[in-house]
Amino acid sequence: MTLFAASSTQAETPPLWKDGLVDGDRVVFLGNTFIEREQHEGYIETALTAQYHDRNITFRNLGWSGDDVFGRSRARFGNAAEGWNHLNNSLDLVKPTAAIVCYGSNAAFAGDAGLDQFRTGYNRLLDAVERHTKKIMLLSPPPQEDLGRPLPDPKDQNARLAKYRDAIKEIAYQRGYDFVDVYDALGDTFKSGVEGKATLTSNGVHLTEYGYWEAARAIRKSLGTITPILPLKESRLPLRAPLSAAVPSPSNCVSYDGEVEDVTFDFKVMKRTTQNGMFELIIDGEKMGSFSAEQLQDGVGVNVPKLADAAEKLRRTIVAKNELFFHRYRPQNETYLFLFRKHEQGNNAAEIPQFDPLIEAKEREIAQLRQPVSLDIQLTPQK
């Protein structure tokens, strides 16, 4: 597990948006299937929650499977205009101060012929989001994964997705938004963060739990890193641990050769002082292995169960919060509560806002779970 702490020369949490996220921000996830399914996995939200552990930032997922930039899938029993109105009403409910938006997976099937319509629709959608905030980040759609035959070869569709990725990047540039290239990160340049042969998708299209873990890792990496206590790589993380979801306290220290150093100590000094000796890495009394000063300087991969457990507990609580919000803005019996059969059970619509205090209670749990985890880290010289 990668360990992080504050540096004397670099902010602990670099800004994700140009103006950064501040205490009290509410971030909305808006998009189609990729976004909606993230609420059930929670890895992206967990990574961002952990990165801003010192600020009260909340998240709301407004993803809708099969949706497009016109909100058509949100129409339910109505027309496209109703879907558009539903999307805007959902934004009014959430009142976001920042947004992460991802569309294009469905639109790309139209190829070149659909690009102009997509650009027009996307800009219209972003105008609607800007009624609430201009702190917006655009994600490209992820690529399709080639799982071999008899599943279709995704080559042609990925070529179309690449064109839509480029169009989204251009929109982000024109409007002054941040852009994250998920297509590239999970495509040809993808480098697995774990050993093994786990697939990113279950069917070439929809990400698995591991796929979302890697997507979160890619998004976080593209947004900047936090200065590490030790340059530990994320190469041996357990599958269920979504990055470094709990951050070591800056008050922790590393001890070696009987002297206590601040967490921001310079490995070059250590390397020169120890003359390339071997060190045993001990975290919370557990031996993690022996490494040379050169290895430690370049980065080593270790698992820290305490961090992994804290990360998983945080993620599960985020997923539980997301489920409560889903029922708040998309109640399963909304036909009876709000639509053409509300004359039968519309009186029960008054119960839907009662989800709000339940969501707030989960967010108080999240606020506790996102706090730094203390670790006792020692480097002991080996003779």
Beta bridge mates, 59: 27
- Whether 41 is covered by a domain: the verdict is yes
Q: Is the pLDDT of residue 50 over 50?
A: yes
Between 254 and 82, residue with greater pLDDT: 82
**What totals of helices (H) and strands (E) does the chain contain, helices first?**
13, 10
pLDDT of the residue at 295 = 76
Higher per-residue pLDDT: 277 or 22: 22
* Residue 245 near residue 368 (C-beta atoms within 8 A): no
Q: What is the DSSP letter of 20?
A: -
What is the model's pLDDT at position 271? 43
Give domain status of residue 153, yes or no.
Answer: yes
Percent of the chain at pLDDT > 70 equals: 79
Percentage, residues of the chain above pLDDT 90: 55
pLDDT surpasses 60 at 51: yes
* 101 dihedral zone (left: phi>0; alpha: psi -120 to 50; beta): beta
DSSP 112: G
Domain that includes residue 190, residue range: 26-222
Is residue 131 situated within a structural domain?
yes
pLDDT, position 3? 33
- Higher pLDDT: 209 or 297? It is 209
Point out the least confidently predicted range of 74-78, 132-136, 240-244: 240-244
- Domain presence at residue 150: yes
CB atoms within 10 A of CB 29: 25
pLDDT band at 276 (very low <50, low <70, confident <90, very high): low
| Residue scoring higher pLDDT (44 or 225) | 44
User: 77 pLDDT band (50/70/90 cuts)?
Assistant: confident
**Average of pLDDT values for 258-268?**
32
**Tens digit of pLDDT for each residue in 316-359?**
999 999 999 999 999 988 886 777 778 888 888 888 899 999 99
- Count of domains forming the chain: 1
Average pLDDT over residues 46-65: 92
265: Cβ contacts below 8 Å, ≥ 6 apart? 254
Q: Is the pLDDT of residue 201 over 70?
A: yes
Mean predicted confidence (pLDDT) in 216-228: 67
What is the band of 265 on the pLDDT scale with cuts at 50, 70, 90?
very low
* Distance from chain centroid for Cα 155: 27
Instruction: Assess whether pLDDT exceeds 70 at residue 134.
Output: yes
Is it the case that residue 2 has pLDDT exceeding 80?
no
- 97-133 pLDDT, tens digit per residue, is 999 999 999 999 999 999 999 999 999 999 999 999 9
Q: Which amino acid is at 219?
A: I
What pLDDT was estimated at residue 18?
Answer: 58
- Going by pLDDT thresholds of 50, 70 and 90, the confidence category of residue 279 is confident
Task: Report which secondary-structure segment, H or E, holds 237.
Answer: none
CA 41 – CA 323 distance, rounded (Å): 11
CATH code, domain carrying 30: 3.40.50.1110
Contact 5, 264 (CB under 8 A): yes
Mean pLDDT of the chain: 81
Q: Is 382 within a domain? A: no
Q: Which bin fits 250, alpha (ψ -120 to 50), beta or left (φ > 0)? A: alpha
Per-residue model confidence (pLDDT) at position 19: 59
Sheet holding 178-180, edge to edge: 58-61, 26-31, 98-102, 136-139, 178-180
Confidence band for 299, pLDDT divided at 50, 70 and 90: low
- Confidence band, pLDDT 50/70/90 cuts, at residue 17: low
Length of the chain: 383
The band of 226, judged by pLDDT with boundaries at 50, 70 and 90, is very low
Mean pLDDT of 182-209: 90
pLDDT band at 288 (very low <50, low <70, confident <90, very high): confident
